[in-house]
Amino acid sequence: MSKATNPVESYLRMDRMPSIWCPGCGIGIVVNCFARALQQMGVDHDELAVVSGIGCTGRIAGYVDIDSFHTTHGRPIPFATGLKVARPDLKVIVMSGEGDLVSIGGNHLIHAARRNSDVKVICVNNFTYAMTGGQAGPTAPRHSIATTAPYGSFDKPFNLPFLADSTGAVYVARWTTYHVRQLTRSMAEAMSKPGFCFIEVISPCPTIFSRRNRLGDGLDAMRYYKNSSKVVNGANTRMVGLDLNGPIIVGKFIDRDRPTLLEAMDEEIGSKLGKRYVPYATTGVQR
Amino acid sequence: MAASKKNSKRKFRGEVYIDQERCKGCGFCIEFCPTHVLALADSFNQKGYYPPVIADIEACTGCDLCGMYCPDFAIYGVKIRLDVVQEEANHEC
Ligand SMILES: Cc1ncc(C[n+]2csc(CCOP(=O)(O)OP(=O)(O)O)c2C)c(N)n1
Ligand code: SF4
Ligand code: SF4
Ligand code: SF4
């Protein structure tokens, strides 16, 4: 039999491999699951665009063989919203780190969720600003060591599913890089669903987060995810906050429907202007 | 043919492909292969990482979990249908 090819290769820029990511880093698994979700859905390369911010995770934009944008720090979500408004026919996916999306980009996140901007956010949470050497980020667990918290972080971390849920996201899930099948399914679900979808992926950073906190290598992190995760679909997001080395509740937490930003705009303005208004959401590129 | 189908326990055989030079030696594939097909090589690749080698190909189901876990796209498994191979062989004779 002729040698089969890796099914993910058609969605990735294999000429740029190996990636910059460290051995045991989980970001490659997220890309892997993303490519598999696309393959399972049978979407054409031209039907979607990927937007990333800055950070180790932000480098994803450079490895997918899809139209992609490596934007400025914290800004992938507004960039993606603009892209979606200009090209409503595209599926627009944001892939970036929790520092990028929730610290410097935090305001964009909550308002895109509030307005139900039709973009899909895949947030890789490695609990630190990895690319810049390990400062305490918005999800740094209490007592975790960071360059900016040498005696342990004392701030309350964000519970990301609760944040996305309470600000209006229509789809909210959390998985770890151990949950490859569930993560792939969730990505496919989110990409098929209109509205603001948010998937948090807990991911190992052996070089910065694990090393500083003496948590071992990437494999140790994966074993921890395997042994300490519990799937609770539909869990109350208020209850899924994380502690250093504590249990991890994973699952699909929220799946609901409400008008997207463009649908709401069409509805509101259309009802006032009648035939004078050309609806946005429905017309797509023909507009 | 029907008899051979009935007798064979497995409908699929697995095959796993490894690109040893692309591997960064994280060990995820070895750890999470459900049937323990893989083992750590005893020599390293050009970049100095120890890639996986096939220790027990008979046990491979082609489930491709190794492929899903690999952060470097260096390994993947495929299922090969045994009954198709069997049918083809029967047609030939
Ligand atoms: C405006 C601006 N401020 C700060 C930085 C420095 N910087 C680069 S990456 C980064 C944090 C990235 O953290 P995260 O999004 O969690 O990604 P990770 O590297 O952990 O994957 C920061 C603060 C920058 N590039 N631009
Ligand atoms: S520093 Fe951490 S997040 Fe960045 S590539 Fe290395 S392991 Fe991954
Ligand atoms: S395809 Fe499945 S059974 Fe075969 S080596 Fe990979 S994980 Fe193991
Ligand atoms: S998962 Fe990939 S990178 Fe890690 S050891 Fe296996 S082949 Fe190498």
Q: Are strands A91-97 and A120-125 parallel, antiparallel or unpaired?
A: parallel
Higher pLDDT, A54 or B86: A54
B71, A36: Cβ pair inside 8 Å? Answer: no
Neighbours of B69 (CB within 10 A): 25
Assigned domain for B3 exists: no
Q: Give CA angle at A197 (A141, A94), nearest 5°.
A: 80
Residue A58 maps to which CATH number? 3.40.50.970
Assigned domain for B63 exists: yes
Give pLDDT, residue A2.
44
List chain A residues with pLDDT less than 70: 1-4, 282-287
Contacts of B26 in chain A (CB under 8 A): 23-24, 217-219
pLDDT tens figures, B47-56: 999 999 999 9
Give pLDDT, residue B5.
45
Assigned domain for A275 exists: no
Assigned domain for A249 exists: yes
Write out the residue range of the structural domain in which residue A73 sits: 24-257
Assigned domain for A238 exists: yes
Q: Residue B20 pLDDT more than 80?
A: yes
Assigned domain for A208 exists: yes
For chain B, say whether A76 makes contact (Cβ under 8 Å): no
Q: Residue B86 pLDDT more than 90?
A: no
Q: Residue B4 pLDDT more than 60?
A: no
0.90 exceeded by the pTM? yes
Write out the residue range of the structural domain in which residue B34 sits: 16-92
Give the closest of B15, B31, B76 to A6, CB-based: B76
Assigned domain for B10 exists: no
Assigned domain for A287 exists: no
Give pLDDT, residue A5.
82
Centre of ligand 1 to C-alpha A74, Å, is 8
Q: Residue B28 pLDDT more than 70?
A: yes
Q: Residue B1 pLDDT more than 90?
A: no
Assigned domain for B2 exists: no
Contacts of A178 in chain B (CB under 8 A): 32
- Surface-to-core class of residue A104, CB atoms within 10 Å of its CB (0-12 exposed, 13-18 middle, 19+ buried): middle
Assigned domain for A5 exists: no
For chain A, say whether B85 makes contact (Cβ under 8 Å): no
Give pLDDT, residue B6.
46
Element (H, E) at A82: helix A76-86
Assigned domain for A160 exists: yes
Residue B86 maps to which CATH number? 3.30.70.20
B71, A27: Cβ pair inside 8 Å? Answer: yes
**CA dist list (Å): A259 to A28, A79, A121, A196, A281:** 34, 21, 18, 10, 11
Contacts of B47 in chain A (CB under 8 A): 18
Give the closest of B31, B69, B72 to A180, CB-based: B69
Number of domains within chain B? 1
Give pLDDT, residue B87.
53
Q: Residue B2 pLDDT more than 50?
A: no
Higher pLDDT, B83 or A274: A274
Assigned domain for A273 exists: no
pLDDT band at B83 (very low <50, low <70, confident <90, very high): confident
Give pLDDT, residue A36.
97
Number of domains within chain A? 1
